[in-house]
Amino acid sequence: MPYRLYHLLRCSIILVSLLALGLLVASCSGSQQQPGSQQQGSSQKEGTALAANGVTEYVGTVQGVNPQKSYFPGDFFIAVARDEAGNVTAYLCDATGNAQLFSGKIAEDQLDVRSQSGEATLSATVANSTVDGQIELRGATLPFATSKAESIGGLYTFTKAEGDVVTAKSERGNELSAKYLPDEQALQGAATLANGEERSLKASLRPRSQAEGQAYEQQAGFSDYRMIVLDSGIGKGNKTVNSKPAPDGTSNFSMVAYTWE
């Protein structure tokens, strides 16, 4: 083979090889871009998780209470909220005017606190997904069990503002925004859970027993209420100690009973 022809053929082979190598590098670079995008998405999700306040909520009832039927004095719901440092807020309420608020700190998975009123003590074992124990209240022993709130459940503070606007926030960050419908004794609006999930909200505030009805009337017209809501959407509440009359003087607004519809 003539030298010149051999030289041209050899250069062509080298050129084709370089072109193929360039395409391969470009292809690899493009394929690496996808995982990069996925990693960015993961970081955004992680950032959302890290933005949470670090509080875990547990909700449940005193032993023997049926949330679907038990609406009488002593039929207590209980909620416990703990932060990452072990600080705890707990609330006991039966929606008939009996409520106790506790605060303290966990020591080696044990919680032993006295209520702010001094009338009750709470002793419990705190686990990752449960808080179980008992409450001593005016000579009675009340065993209770709670589980981690995963949905709408939590320990809320509801606030009534002017124009029948009602907002609420749970200890871990669930948020509710609603309009009070006086004729229906109901709330209608939206809920944004701590995990970012959004839901429509319609909840009845009508008392479910005569005892709840009496408490409803006694506590009507105030602006701030503390409410325990189970993940099923059933709640029991009581006005806060420092609650003031609602700014617009709505007389039939009360937050002792709560039933998500």
CATH number of 56-148: 2.40.160.90
pLDDT of residue 215: 96
pLDDT at 45 exceeding the cut of 60:
no
| C-alpha 251, offset from chain centre | 29
Instruction: Name residue 30's beta-bridge partners.
Output: none
pLDDT at 80 exceeding the cut of 90:
yes
pLDDT of residue 29: 40
Residue 125: CB partners within 8 Å, gap ≥ 6? 109, 110, 111, 131, 132, 133
pLDDT at 229 exceeding the cut of 70:
yes
Using alpha carbons only, give the angle 229, 231, 236 rounded to the nearest 5 degrees.
Answer: 20
Q: What is the pTM of this model?
A: 0.80
Q: Where are the alpha helices (DSSP H) in the chain?
A: 3-50, 210-218
Rg (Cα) of the chain, in Å, rounded? Answer: 29
Three state DSSP letters for 119-167: CEEEEEEECCCEEEEEEEECCEEEEEEEEECCCCCEEEEEEECHHHEEE
pLDDT class for 26, splitting at 50, 70, 90?
very low
pLDDT class for 53, splitting at 50, 70, 90?
confident
pLDDT tens per residue, range 177-220: 999 999 999 999 999 999 999 999 999 999 999 999 999 999 99
What φ, ψ does residue 130 adopt, rounded to 5°?
A: -145, 155
Q: Quote the percentage of the chain above a pLDDT of 70.
A: 79
Instruction: Determine the Cα–Cα distance for residues 247 and 162; give it in Å rounded to an integer.
Output: 6
pLDDT at 255 exceeding the cut of 50:
yes
Q: Give me the amino acid identity at 104.
A: G
Is residue 70 within 8 A of residue 92, CB to CB? The reply is: no
pLDDT at 134 exceeding the cut of 50:
yes
Instruction: Determine the Cα–Cα distance for residues 147 and 82; give it in Å rounded to an integer.
Output: 13
* Domain range list for the chain: 1-44, 56-148, 154-260
How much is the mean pLDDT over the chain? 83
What φ, ψ does residue 41 adopt, rounded to 5°?
A: -60, -40
Instruction: Determine the Cα–Cα distance for residues 127 and 120; give it in Å rounded to an integer.
Output: 22
Residue 142: CB partners within 8 Å, gap ≥ 6? 62, 63, 76, 92, 134, 135, 136
